[in-house]
Amino acid sequence: MDFLELAKKRYSERFFDSKAVEQEKLDKILEAGRIVPTACNYQPQKFYLIRSKDGLEKLKTVTHFHYNVPLMILVCYDLNEVWTNPGDSYYQYYNSGEQDASIAATTMMYEAEELGVHTIWVRGFDSKTVVDTFNLPEYMIPVMMLGLGYPNEKAKANAWHYKRKPIEDFVYEL
């Protein structure tokens, strides 16, 4: 499928079936997140799979936006492995972690779509609560969660999905 077709087709799934994502597909999705470009190729992105019964119960305590997914990937970055730009006088404390993790998550999202697995991007959580609940080290920074699974009979794109601003709202000549 043409990439733009794939991108237009993909929507945030909110109605998941309980069917597990096959390991072969999950491996491809994780590989897509592994091979992405990162700042100076430092590769600080880390993926935590939440799919056990206990893990999914904990998930429900850290976000209301779990949509009963059979698998959630908590996408983080390792603060000790990020690229920083000490020469940036405007954005002094910049590090590449959120950018690198977001590129990885987006790439996994589109690979999942290519494989027929639906996704939802979740950022409705408190990072400290996630770190504490899942016993992550203090240098592991949660960026987002990527819910994966198959749609149930109620599945459909939200009406907002089809509302797009015109290209003129995004592109400027300097």
Q: What is the pLDDT along the chain (174 residues), one digit of tens a residue?
A: 799 999 999 999 999 999 999 999 999 999 999 999 999 999 999 999 999 999 999 999 999 999 999 999 999 999 999 999 988 889 888 999 999 999 999 999 999 999 999 999 999 999 999 999 999 999 999 999 999 999 999 999 988 888 999 999 999 999
CB atoms within 10 A of CB 162: 9
At 104, list the tokens.
């990885």
CATH architecture group of domain 25-150 = 3-Layer(aba) Sandwich (3.40)
Beta-ladder partners of 46 = 76
Burial class (CB in 10 A: 0-12, 13-18, 19+), 12: middle
The conformational region for residue 67 under phi > 0 = left, psi -120 to 50 = alpha, else beta, is left
Q: What pTM was computed for the model? A: 0.95
Contact predicate 73/31, CB 8 Å: no
Residues 103, 106, 112: CA angle, nearest 5 degrees: 140
